Amino acid sequence: MQRFEICRPVVFWFFILALMFAMPSTSFGQDEADQASGAEDSAPATESASRSLIWTGTGERSLTQTFPEAAVWLELEEGDRALGLFYPEARLPARGAVLVLSDEGETAASGVTGALAAGLASRGWAVLTLGLESPSPVLSDVLMRPVAEEPSAETEAGEQEAPESVMIDVMASESADDLEARYRSRISQTLQAGLAQLAERGYETPAVLGVGRASIHVTNQVLEGADAAALIWVAPQFYPVDRPDLPERLESLSTELLELYPSGAVDDQTKWSMGMRLRRAGMSGFERQPIPWLTPAPGTLGDGIASRVAAWLESRQD
């Protein structure tokens, strides 16, 4: 009995010492796991942050689940890719094909795009729709900035007095230009891949249509040499930097152009209107037609727009 009482305190203290050594080890292992987890999360977060400075996405994952048979992945540069939705013609013979770029912030099926594509397909036109990624707030400010005016003599003198300020402005401008160039380049790549996809399916020289802000992107694609049967604007809007020289650039356009403008809009000569500027300039192959329009545009307007587009395209084929 006395021997047992002597051994019991020894066993007790041995157990306490074992716990003291075990707890730091467990804590150290947990810290390592947390650091590893943090390292794994940091790379995607950094990549996402970099991408979010330019665009915010077009809902591609949900579209592949909603339209699994229509989804078409387009391969872009540097291993990137974009999603399009293909609507085959619902009646034969096919009248042709139309590549549709949605309005800014719309997916390949949202807004008027889905109903527009379905309406064209029912009238014998194959359609490939593409979403237009919405620029981030930072890039949106860049795209909507006023056009810079030529500096006056007073301004130049002031700049000479503040060289550090000038250097900061130049660096900020270069950074902004890089964001804008990357955004526009990806859209151009997507349009080029969409045209190539239609060509692979046997549709040569499709018409190219842009909704809202997409109008300038499809226009640039055609002006840069894309082989298109026609160029169509639906309720077009243009960034300030694109407005001044666009009429001059379109003077050399051999592709016929249709502008479908909101019927509620009043042509005010005191305000900027690309359509009216082109009309006053006497641009050949240019036509304007009013359409019902709401902002944001509901899908119910899509079939009516499809009817106008199909009728105009067919009149060019006869």
The pLDDT profile of the chain, 318 residues, written as one tens digit per residue, is: 444 444 455 445 555 555 555 444 444 444 444 444 444 443 344 444 445 555 556 678 889 999 999 999 999 998 899 999 999 999 989 999 999 999 999 999 999 999 999 999 999 999 999 999 999 999 999 999 887 654 444 444 445 544 444 433 444 455 878 899 999 999 999 999 999 999 999 998 999 999 999 999 999 999 999 999 999 999 999 999 998 889 888 888 889 999 999 987 655 444 456 777 777 766 778 999 999 999 888 899 999 999 999 999 999 887
212 — alpha (psi -120 to 50), left (phi > 0) or beta? left
DSSP structure class, residue 297: P
Burial 24-39 (b: 16+ CB within 10 A, else e): eeeeeeeeeeeeeeee
Structure tokens at 75: 């391969």
Evaluate whether residue 27 is within a structural domain.
no
Residue 288 located in a structural domain: yes
Residue pair 61/49 in contact by the 8 Å Cβ criterion: no
> Which pLDDT belongs to residue 57?
61
Question: 303: burial class by Cβ within 10 Å (0-12, 13-18, 19+)?
Answer: middle
> According to the model, what pLDDT value does residue 305 have?
97
Residue 121 belongs to some domain of the structure = yes
- Structure-block tokens of residue 276: 């009216």
Residue 32 lies in a domain: no
What was the pLDDT predicted at 60? 85
Per the CB < 8 A criterion, the answer to whether 263 and 291 are in contact is yes
The upper half-sphere exposure of residue 268, i.e. CA atoms within 13 Å in the direction of its Cβ, equals: 6
**Could you tell me the CA-to-CA distances from 270 to 124, 153, 273 in Å, in that order?**
41, 29, 9
Q: Exposed/middle/buried for 187, CB within 10 Å: 0-12, 13-18, 19+?
A: buried
Q: Residue 164 sits in a domain of what CATH number?
A: 3.40.50.1820
Contact 54, 45 (CB under 8 A): no
Element (H, E) at 209: strand 207-211
Asked if the structure places residue 47 within a domain, the reply is no
Distance CA 226, CA 271 (A): 31
For 301, residues 6+ apart whose C-beta sits below 8 A from its C-beta are: 112, 115, 291, 292, 293, 294
Residues 221, 206: Cα–Cα separation, whole Å: 13
pLDDT at 32: 44
Q: Which two tokens stand for residue 311?
A: 């009728």
Tokens of 2: 């006395």
Phi, psi of 113, deg, nearest 5: -60, -50
Q: What is the pLDDT of residue 16?
A: 54
Q: Is 9 within the bounds of a domain? A: no
Q: Largest alpha-carbon pair distance within the chain?
A: 117
Query: Does residue 18 fall inside a structural domain?
Result: no
Nearest-Å Rg of the Cα atoms of the chain is: 29
Query: Would you say residue 34 lies in a domain?
Result: no
Neighbours of 78 (CB within 10 A): 6
Specify the 3-state DSSP secondary structure of 95. coil
pLDDT at position 270: 42
Count of domains forming the chain = 1
Residue 66, domain extent: 60-317
